Homo-oligomer: A and B are copies of this chain.
Amino acid sequence: MFDKICIIGCGLIGSSILRGAEEKKIAKRISVHDKSKQVMEYLKKNFTADICPNISEATKNADLIVISAPLSSYKEILLSIKSNLKEGSILTDTGSAKKEVNKIVNNLGIKNISWIASHPIAGTEHSGPAAGFSSLFKNRWCILSAQDQVTREKLEKLKKFWSKLGSKIKIMSFEDHDYVLSLTSHLPHAVAYSIVRTAINNGDKFRNDIIQYSAGGLRDFTRIAASDPLMWKDIFFDNSENILKVLDNYSKNLDEIKSAIKSKDSKKLLEIFSSTKKVRKEIIEAGQDTEKPDFGRK
């Protein structure tokens, strides 16, 4: 499919792409670069791909470059690889926010390549190259965002790449992507971090009890609140406009619950609690979660 793929940044997502691409034989050659020495050592021990300490060496002659690093590192990465990009190649990424990244790419005046942003809606609460696995993208959506000048041919090529890794593809504008994801992913993360912090910020008296009796709901949130801090700090900054807006709407919804509790308004509380029940069903019908009770946990 490609003569050479280059993966820059090889944590959970990058290493899952590497595993999937090797397994599906998507490219004749794969080069990988990560700025962490520890990650590079892990890669050398566990993969046969070209593990390149030099980022521009990694990029050389690649037909597809996938940046799979924290959003705050994009500018530095792009500046390092800019002059080495092969004419006609595709540049993509796997970041969770798009509008700011698109600005960066445009401002750097990168030419003669096709920039198409990718966002695979896949991941776990674990980070690092040892946490990756080749089936991570299987049956998961991957959202692509491209500017008008990108040709249909290049877009099809990138679609095929993600399809081979198991993804279902959706094309969305940079702006719509950032708005939708602020609701489906960024808000849930802000909320999860806050709730876990609230639960543990109570001094030591009840800490053990809170851990022990977390199965009443809290434990679900601790999974998301265990996500990579650096990655999420970057997402919150890059998509701050949408996130702050939805956080305000969210606070209003929470205030509505508070008022209903204070005024003992049964009707209102029942209305709120009933309105959310059917969403679960729709998500299961859309194949986006397991129908097994309690996520099938034992």
What is the count of identical protomers in the complex?
2
Contact of A253 among B141, B194, B277, B281 (CB under 8 A): B194
**Residue count of chain A within 8 Å CB distance of chain B:** 103
Do B198 and A121 touch across chains, with their CB atoms under 8 A apart? Answer: no
Q: Give the distance in Å from the alpha carbon of A144 to the alpha carbon of B70 in the complex.
A: 47
**Distance (Å) between the CB of A36 and the closest chain B CB?**
17
Do B211 and A180 touch across chains, with their CB atoms under 8 A apart? Answer: no
A257-B194, A275-B197 known; A226 vs B280 contact (CB < 8 Å): yes
**Residue A73 lies at the interface, judged by CB distance under 8 Å to chain B:** no
**Distance (Å) between the CB of A236 and the closest chain B CB?**
5
Query: Within residues 209 to 232 of chain A, which ones have a CB less than 8 A from any CB in chain B?
Result: 209-227, 229-230, 232
| Interface membership of chain A positions 165-183, coded 1 if the CB is closer than 8 angstroms to chain B and 0 otherwise | 0000010100010011101
Which residues does chain B contribute within 8 Å of A96, judged by CB atoms? 216
Do A219 and B261 touch across chains, with their CB atoms under 8 A apart? Answer: no
Contact of A294 among B125, B172, B184 (CB under 8 A): B125
Which residues does chain B contribute within 8 Å of A288, judged by CB atoms? 211-215, 219
Which residues does chain B contribute within 8 Å of A193, judged by CB atoms? 257, 272-273, 276
Do B283 and A219 touch across chains, with their CB atoms under 8 A apart? Answer: yes
Do A269 and B199 touch across chains, with their CB atoms under 8 A apart? Answer: no
Q: Determine, out of A85-93, A150-158, A239-247, the stretch whose residues face the partner at the interface.
A: A239-247
Which residues does chain B contribute within 8 Å of A124, judged by CB atoms? 293-294
Q: Give the distance in Å from the alpha carbon of A202 to the alpha carbon of B121 in the complex.
A: 21
**Distance (Å) between the CB of A184 and the closest chain B CB?**
4
**Residue A37 lies at the interface, judged by CB distance under 8 Å to chain B:** no
**Residue A185 lies at the interface, judged by CB distance under 8 Å to chain B:** yes
Contact of A261 among B211, B240, B261 (CB under 8 A): B240
**Distance (Å) between the CB of A279 and the closest chain B CB?**
5
**Residue A38 lies at the interface, judged by CB distance under 8 Å to chain B:** no
27 A–B pairs (Cβ distance < 8 Å), ordered by A: A121-B213, A121-B216, A180-B209, A181-B213, A186-B217, A187-B218, A188-B220, A191-B221, A194-B256, A197-B272, A197-B276, A199-B279, A200-B276, A212-B288, A214-B288, A214-B289, A219-B288, A222-B280, A223-B294, A223-B295, A226-B276, A226-B281, A227-B273, A229-B277, A247-B258, A251-B254, A290-B297
Known pairs A188-B217, A229-B270 / 15 extra A-B pairs, C-beta < 8 Å? A121-B213, A124-B294, A176-B209, A180-B210, A184-B218, A185-B216, A195-B250, A197-B253, A201-B253, A211-B286, A214-B286, A215-B289, A229-B269, A236-B257, A251-B254
**A residues with CB within 8 A of B:** 96, 121-126, 131, 140-141, 143, 170, 172, 176, 179-181, 183-202, 206, 209-227, 229-230, 232-233, 236-237, 240, 243-244, 246-247, 249-251, 253-254, 256-258, 261-262, 264, 266, 269-270, 272-277, 279-283, 286, 288-290, 293-298
